[in-house]
Structure 1
Amino acid sequence: MHYFFFSPLSASFLFFLLLLLLLLLGTAVVFFSLLPFRFLQWRHHQHKRLPLPPGSMGWPYIGETLKLYTENPNSFFSNRQKRHGDVFKTSILGCPCVMVSSPEAIKVVLVTRAHLFKPTYPSSKERMIGPEAIFFHEGPYHSRLKKLVQASFLPSAIRGSVSAIEQIVLKFLPTWNNGVVNTLQEMKKYTFDVAILSAFGHKLDLEMEGIKHLYRSLEKGYNSMPINLPGTPFRRAMKARKLLNETFRRLIAKRRGSSKQGGGLLGILLGAKDQHLNHLSDSQIADNIIGVIFAAHDTTASVLTWLLKYLHDKRDLLEAVTREQEGIKASISEANRGLTWDDTRRMPLTSRVIQETLRTASILSFTFREAVEDVEFEGYYIPKGWKVLPLFRSIHYCADFFPQPEKFDPSRFEVPPKPNTFLPFGNGVHACPGSELAKLEMFVLLHHLTTSYRWKVVGGEDGIQYVPFPVPQGGLPIEVTPRKANAE
């Protein structure tokens, strides 16, 4: 047996080697960490030494993500806009970002030079929704998908859905009667049912509860930090995403095996062929179905929650909307029929209330784009790969376009807003194709809610919470009673 031992000399020598190794390692870390910075400096030189936009990148990796999702977004954006101007840099969800907040600059990003700024999201969001979803693409694949999705959500396509959406409303509104409900959670149920209807052409009674459970898990992790460790919201969300994908693939296979393609977006996607007569794959269809549900669910539910908040706080406006809806209700009763698409076109005041809610709530504060190459923009240099975020909220709260922007005033929409100043559904080739469906949901709900019920906010809490979309504090708990019970 051999024993190993160290003399004082050998121990010192080993200690010296350890220090040298650590020094070399530290030098290597610094060298490689500075490589991107040096490369960025070289690219600056290539671009006539244009500066990066002003601003702060916040903490390493985290950036300013926590501030963005916990502060009042009006304050977050306006403070930086005052400090740095209409174009400034920050870091969100681990991505370097440039935020732009003037109508002219936003038009450049979304319309006139849109080819330089591809639609994108942080990779964590792409993984959750699915890489084949329309949001993450451009070029021929995007154009093909856009035509298909638009075909599913054009007024000519959704006008036949009014009756089905009305039945959803008539089924769930009575469950509010003489009780306290959480508005946001109830609106999420409503918009989820409509999203499933628009995606599949009918309600999925057998699979609905399982899909809802998986979607809730996916939703909770959607805006979490992308830390893929056991127990984290992100890990749980990715597991739910895998199971949701399997569920939708089974539904797709079932529909493929049927003699009829069926309705909804699924039917359109299943029947689509390209110029070579190739069908979309199951993964392409599943990713786009999940994407549509994402797009149609949370945002519309948040807007509906604000609608009830504003109408509650402005009783005169509520009564005016009710009178408009009562006139439509009278004609419906006289003809002994249900609500129709044409009825929803005869709601001018209700339409202005919805428009003003979309402006003041500004649920989508911004959208994500990515520079596809090094770009010279408004006197600054934007490196390839950086995210570029047009700030819709900043424009919606600009007094130059909307005087007294903090005031809820639907009459401002009696005159059409200036171009590129009202962008609740985005702009350009990647604008939201489901905007008409979202507004239809609001019209149908408000028709029955205002003519049959009244509601009162309960609890002493006031203010806004961010989950991550801005909504009234606590999701707006309300007590709902039949309108006749309140009549004097």
Structure 2
Amino acid sequence: MCGVFFCVFIFLLAIIFSYIFLRGEKKEPQKRAKLPTGTMGWPYIGETLQMYSQDPNVFFAAKQKRYGEIFKTNILGCPCVMLASPEDARFVLVTAAHLFKPTYPKSKERLIGQAALFFHQGEYHLRLRKLVQGSLSPEAIRNLVEGIDAIAASALDSWAGGHIVNTFHEMKRFSFEVGILAIFGHLDAYYREELKKNYCLVDKGYNSFPTNIAGTPFKKALMARKRLTKILSDIICERKEKKSLDKDLLGCLLNSKDEKGGILRDNEIADNIIGVLFAAQDTTASVMTWIVKYLHDNPKLLLGAVKAEQKAIRISNDEGNRRLSWSQIRTLMPVSNKVVLESLRMASIISFTFREAVADVEYKGYLIPKGWKVMPLFRNIHHNPEFFSDPQRFDPSRFEVAPKPNTFMPFGSGVHACPGNELAKLEILIMIHHLVTKFRWEVVGPNSGIQYSPFPVPMEGLPARFWKESTT
């Protein structure tokens, strides 16, 4: 009997110790990452109406103040995670760029062309980016100075006389001509006009409601895009027949071969040409429009200093009888260059960029679900007083010292940063030179306010009058 009780006792003891042992060995359940805080708004439309019923920058700034530098929202039917710190922007765009792909609405891909480099990742993207960046590098674009100089002089001459011009629209025309020069070199006048006419229709329909109904801006844009394909096909065919080794963008694309000897198809070349035109025109035109306004609004300190610098260059060029040189632009325009940098910061033409998580990503204890959009907020970073004191004040002198890393990203960052940034700065500085040395101007529209089309520009495109100044 005692033996039976003893066996039962041992059995119960074993159960107790096993329970205690297993309980001690059992791991604490891992804490599941949670979504960032924030609000998602109404079903499907989310908070789109709230964002577009006010200045989007005010919308994002209010969100950041309430929820911190990482927060969620829903824009245009897409759940989004917003990132408002330099560290977070670098994580998405550089450190973990492979986890976040560029994303655009399908309607925009149809108009630009699905083979355009900024719709891609991986080997194809790297190959195209290398080609585009190479054709727009400082070594390549230094040969464009004379051509851009002539385009700028001609453009400004057409504004003179005191009639009202829409500064933004005129700057778009100027940027388009510079883009044509960089892509094709000297292009036949017929092709130039056909490209311009049809590209303008595509541009007008780009941000319209995507419908195939006849007569709508989007439908007109689709038809114009087909015509652009035909025009570019003819240009490509002619260039192939010449078997030239031109160093412009078209030449680089035509003469490129991958490791296996493969060449780019004509449609891939055409899509990337249209993509470069889109990337170059509106953004650069917006910056130049803001510069005209900033110079106008600060005539004593800002405009005076830029004029003095540029007039000294003009005098050294025999009062403009000799063209600007590459070395003058690179070394003799420090004040103007800081004005450009401060304009890029203040205006923040690219307020944010879209990426999409290709997998569930855990970051700083937050979950970014696969398929969610991720948006680094460049403007919030550029206007953060922690990085730029008194950020609403236009102060070019702040660029006498280089900004802290990842706090100034006017052209984006990482593998998808704008490959044409050097060309943009070059054409802006050349435009400034002609503007301040030969013209005076008066803004005649609203003196404040911003409109989005979709990039931020002064109200009504900054209507202004321009007069030639006497150089005698």
The answer, yes or no, to whether TM exceeds 0.5 is yes
Whole-Å separation in 2 of the counterparts to 1:447 and 1:305: 15
Determine the structure 1 residue equivalent to 2:309.
324
Is the aligned partner of 1:430 residue 2:416? Answer: yes
What is the one-letter code of the residue matched to 2:317? I
Is the aligned partner of 1:57 residue 2:78? Answer: no
User: 1:109-165: per-residue Cα shift (whole Å, max 9, x none)?
Assistant: 011111111222222222221111110111111111111111101100000100000
State the shift of 1:76 in Å.
Answer: 1.7
Cα gap change, 1:380 to 1:226, in 2 (>3 Å): farther
State the shift of 1:48 in Å.
Answer: 4.8
SS in 2 for 1:338: coil
SS in 2 for 1:333: coil
What is the one-letter code of the residue matched to 2:315? A
Determine the structure 2 residue equivalent to 1:351.
337
Is the aligned partner of 1:240 residue 2:235? Answer: no
Cα gap change, 1:270 to 1:54, in 2 (>3 Å): same
What is the one-letter code of the residue matched to 1:242? K
> TM-score normalised to the size of structure 2?
0.89
Whole-Å separation in 2 of the counterparts to 1:259 and 1:427: 36
Confirm or deny: 8 A CA contact 2:446 2:459 kept in the other structure: no
Cα gap change, 1:80 to 1:289, in 2 (>3 Å): same
Aligned counterpart in structure 1 of residue 155 of structure 2, from 172, 177, 190: 172
Determine the structure 2 residue equivalent to 1:90.
73
Aligned counterpart in structure 1 of residue 111 of structure 2, from 118, 128, 136: 128
Q: Which runs of no fewer than 5 residues in structure 1 stay unpaired?
A: 1-45
Whole-Å separation in 2 of the counterparts to 1:97 and 1:246: 38
Determine the structure 2 residue equivalent to 1:465.
451
- After the TM superposition, which of the residue ranges 64-73 and 158-167 deviates more from structure 2? 64-73
What is the one-letter code of the residue matched to 2:288? L
What is the one-letter code of the residue matched to 2:324? L
Determine the structure 1 residue equivalent to 2:146.
163
Confirm or deny: 8 A CA contact 1:352 1:413 kept in the other structure: yes
Is the aligned partner of 1:451 residue 2:437? Answer: yes
Q: How does 1:107-146 map to 2 (within 5 A)?
A: 107-146=90-129
- After the TM superposition, which of the residue ranges 165-174 and 151-160 deviates more from structure 2? 165-174
Whole-Å separation in 1 of the counterparts to 2:107 and 2:42: 19
User: 1:305-354: per-residue Cα shift (whole Å, max 9, x none)?
Assistant: 00000000000210110000011112222896311111111100000000
State the shift of 1:94 in Å.
Answer: 3.4
Whole-Å separation in 2 of the counterparts to 1:62 and 1:231: 27
Cα gap change, 1:67 to 1:194, in 2 (>3 Å): farther
RMSD: 2.0
State the shift of 1:211 in Å.
Answer: 1.8
SS in 2 for 1:478: strand
> TM-score normalised to the size of structure 1?
0.86
Confirm or deny: 8 A CA contact 1:163 1:339 kept in the other structure: yes
Whole-Å separation in 2 of the counterparts to 1:384 and 1:111: 18
Determine the structure 1 residue equivalent to 2:86.
103
Aligned counterpart in structure 2 of residue 153 of structure 1, from 104, 126, 136: 136
Aligned counterpart in structure 1 of residue 58 of structure 2, from 66, 75, 88: 75
Determine the structure 2 residue equivalent to 1:478.
464
Confirm or deny: 8 A CA contact 2:202 2:222 kept in the other structure: yes
State the shift of 1:220 in Å.
Answer: 2.1
Whole-Å separation in 2 of the counterparts to 1:236 and 1:266: 26
Determine the structure 1 residue equivalent to 2:351.
365
State the shift of 1:64 in Å.
Answer: 3.5
Cα gap change, 1:400 to 1:231, in 2 (>3 Å): same
Determine the structure 2 residue equivalent to 1:386.
372
Confirm or deny: 8 A CA contact 2:360 2:370 kept in the other structure: yes
User: 1:45-80: per-residue Cα shift (whole Å, max 9, x none)?
Assistant: x99532222233334443334544553232021011
State the shift of 1:223 in Å.
Answer: 2.3
SS in 2 for 1:311: helix
Sequence identity, in percent?
57
What is the one-letter code of the residue matched to 2:238? K
Whole-Å separation in 2 of the counterparts to 1:70 and 1:160: 45
Determine the structure 2 residue equivalent to 1:218.
202
Q: How does 1:174-189 map to 2 (within 5 A)?
A: 174-179=157-162, 180-189=164-173
Aligned counterpart in structure 1 of residue 325 of structure 2, from 310, 322, 340: 340
Confirm or deny: 8 A CA contact 2:314 2:320 kept in the other structure: no
Aligned counterpart in structure 1 of residue 388 of structure 2, from 402, 407, 413: 402
Whole-Å separation in 2 of the counterparts to 1:125 and 1:191: 21
Cα gap change, 1:67 to 1:214, in 2 (>3 Å): farther
Whole-Å separation in 2 of the counterparts to 1:163 and 1:397: 36
User: 1:332-383: per-residue Cα shift (whole Å, max 9, x none)?
Assistant: 2289631111111110000000000000000000111111111112222111
State the shift of 1:227 in Å.
Answer: 3.9
Confirm or deny: 8 A CA contact 1:69 1:466 kept in the other structure: no
